[in-house]
Structures are given as C-alpha cells and as structure tokens.
Amino acid sequence: MTPGRHFALPICLLILSCIVGANAAELDLIKAQYKRPTAITFPDEAPFSPQTATLGKMLFFDPRLSGKQNLSCASCHNPSFGFEVPVPGAIGAANTPLARKAPTLLNAAWIPTLFWDGRAPSLEMQALGPITAEAEMDGKFTEIVATLTRIPEYRAWFGKLFPRDGITQDNLLTAIATYERTVVAEWAPFDRWIEGDATAISPAAQRGFALFTGKTGCSGCHTGWNFTDNKFHDLGIPTTDIGRGTFEPDNPLAQYAFKTPGLRNLTYRAPFGHAGQFANLEEIVAFYETGGLDRPSKSPLMKPLKLSPEERADLIAFLRSLTAEQTRTALPNLPN
C-alpha cells in the first residue's frame, strides 16, 4: 500500500463517520449488514452440480423452449443488461410489449419469492411461468419434451443427470433453476470498500451511502447485500396494476405493491420500476423526492425526500458504486 493510501483510510472514515453521526465501530456495524455471502445456498431437493448448471444454461439460452422457437429465457434476461432488457416492458411471443419489465435474475438464489408480485415460491416455478405463458414464450411442455427428445445430445445430458426419467418438465425446470442460482453479481467497488479498501469508492459515493442508510431511509427496504427486503411496497407510482394485491385482496397495503428490487449492477439495468417507468437513476431518484402518489395503500416508509443537488449527486454516485465491471457471459453451444 502506498503512503497516500495509508493517509486515505482515516480521512475517508472521518468523512463518513461525521456524516452518519457514528463512530468507527458503529460504522463497521452498518457496513457489515452489506457484506457479500460466502456461498450460494441450493435447496436440498436440487443440490448443485456443475453439470446440471451447464445443462440449465443451455436450456436458458435455447429458443426451442418457446412456441415459435424464436424466444429463449435470455431474450428477456440478457446478461449484457444485468439479466434484464433495456425496454419498459418485456417483448413476448406476439412481438408486443408486456405490461411489466422483466425483473433481473441477478442473485435470484437469495430471493424467496419471484416475479414483481411474488407469485412464484421458487426458481423452478418462476421458470415455468414465462415458458408456458401465451403472451410470453408460449411454449407447451409436451411439445418441448418431444423436441428435446429428438436431439441426441440433450437425450445424453438428461439421461446422465436424471437417469430415472430423463427429459421431463420437472427435470428441465430443475436444470434451469440450478443455472439461475449461479447468476451472481460480481464484486463491485462498494464491496471492496466494505471489505476495507478505503479508496474503492469516491468520497461522493461514501456520502451517498451515508444518505442511503440515514436521511433518505432507502435502507428501510433496500437492505442486506442484495439491497432488498424481499417484501412488497406501494411507492405511489401512478398505475392501474395492483401488483401483490392480486394475491392479497384483503390486505390494504398489498394493493399496488411490488417487490423491492435489488440494486446490484444498476448501471446496466435501466429503465427502472416494475413497468420501466423511469428512464435512468436521475428520474427514479427525482420520483422518490416527490414522495409518490397519495393513496391508502402507499407504504408508510415512502415519504418525500428533500435533497440538495449535491446530495442527489452523492446518492446516485453511491448507487453506481454497486455496479461490477461488465464481464462477458460465454454463450453455450446448443445441441443440434
């Protein structure tokens, strides 16, 4: 470490401690809440194997799972865009935008319920939905199984990994979900800062972190290493989509509520919001400053922010520090 970096550590800690109003020990406790996990947890009924993940990756990128054999899971969950796509609504089988933006698959292994409204209790059930939804991939599993069965390499893969029954709907979904659990956001500058590299993020981003965990109240919902409480909140976004309310009609706070999205790799994931209502980080921060539309279901945590231009810039600098350097996802060779 250079002398300059020895000097930077106490200065950065001093800046952030003063802003947060915390001493070094308290600051460490705050930062500890955002430490990365050491391993991916796989369910007992679907333990990890690299071969199953490899098969799942092939299926994830294979358009033969769709009715017209022109859409794959990756069509809406593109690795180049944080496993989303840069459009307000995902494009489905009819080549028309859907009502909601495809949520990211980053860090899905740590998400207990999937989709914006939480309708799927597992990644296996999440994979089933888009594949068979008429407006999305419009696939039919009897046809998918028949198609894959005609491909010798797929028969060999399934025969080795699932010797009891080979190519079935459940085994296909297990393979896709195994791959999806391996889709983890890489280390970002923020992670290096959390681990003690005092110069990994700028002073502006450090001030933004202090705002995020303090004045703005953002960390009330965006918590933990993936920056989500995995709960549902109505932010007061103008919409006719009742979100979680479809599944909890008697819960007033579930109306117009959507799952808190994680904040990793935001730089690649615009537009933002459950329907892609906000073109960039500046727009969504500006919306939060308004406090959202008042209605009975609006989360009590959603309040207008009073940010100066400097604070707004600091907050956005922090959010950008959660983005890892873009890495190229190697595309699989699909069986013929």
Q: pLDDT tens across 219-238, in order?
A: 999 999 999 999 999 999 99
User: What local confidence, expressed as pLDDT, does residue 87 receive?
Assistant: 93
Mean pLDDT value of segment 299-308? 95
pTM: predicted TM-score of the whole model, two decimal places: 0.90
User: What local confidence, expressed as pLDDT, does residue 328 receive?
Assistant: 86
CA 204 to CA 222: how far, in whole Å? 20
pLDDT tens per residue, range 163-202: 999 999 999 999 999 999 999 999 999 999 999 999 999 9
Task: Name residue 233's beta-bridge partners.
Answer: 258
Known binding residue 274? Answer is no
Known binding residue 12? Answer is no
Q: Does pLDDT of 7 surpass 80?
A: no
Domain architecture of the chain: domains with CATH = 3-38+187-320 (1.10.760.10), 50-181 (1.10.760.10)
Percent of the chain with pLDDT strictly greater than 90:
86
User: What local confidence, expressed as pLDDT, does residue 18 receive?
Assistant: 45
β strands within 57-183, DSSP E: none
Known binding residue 6? Answer is no
Q: Please state, in angstroms and as integers, the Cα–Cα distance from residue 23 to each residue in 10, 26, 94, 223, 272, following that order.
A: 12, 5, 57, 21, 35
Q: Does pLDDT of 95 surpass 80?
A: yes
Considering only the C-alpha atoms of the chain, give the largest distance between any 2 of them, rounded to a whole number of Å.
Answer: 66
Q: Does pLDDT of 5 surpass 80?
A: no
The residues, any chain, with a CB within 8 Å of residue 93's CB and separated by 6 or more, are: 66, 67, 68, 71, 134, 135, 136, 137, 138
User: What local confidence, expressed as pLDDT, does residue 22 receive?
Assistant: 57
- Confirm whether 136 is a catalytic residue: yes
**143-154 burial code (b ≥16 CB/10 A, e <16):** ebbebbeebeeb
More confident residue, 1 or 185: 185
Q: Does pLDDT of 15 surpass 90?
A: no
Give the model's confidence band at 1: pLDDT under 50 very low, under 70 low, under 90 confident, else very high.
very low
Instruction: State the CB neighbour count (10 A cutoff) for residue 135.
Output: 13
Q: Tell me which of 14-23, 138-147, 159-168, 318-327 is least confident.
A: 14-23
**21-39 burial code (b ≥16 CB/10 A, e <16):** ebeeeebeebbeebeeeee
Establish whether the linkage from the previous residue to 271 is cis, with ω within 30° of 0: yes
CA 78 to CA 53: how far, in whole Å? 17
Q: Does pLDDT of 142 surpass 90?
A: yes
Known binding residue 18? Answer is no
Known binding residue 77? Answer is yes
CB-based contact 185:107 (threshold 8 Å) = yes
Catalytic residue among 84, 124, 136, 311: 136
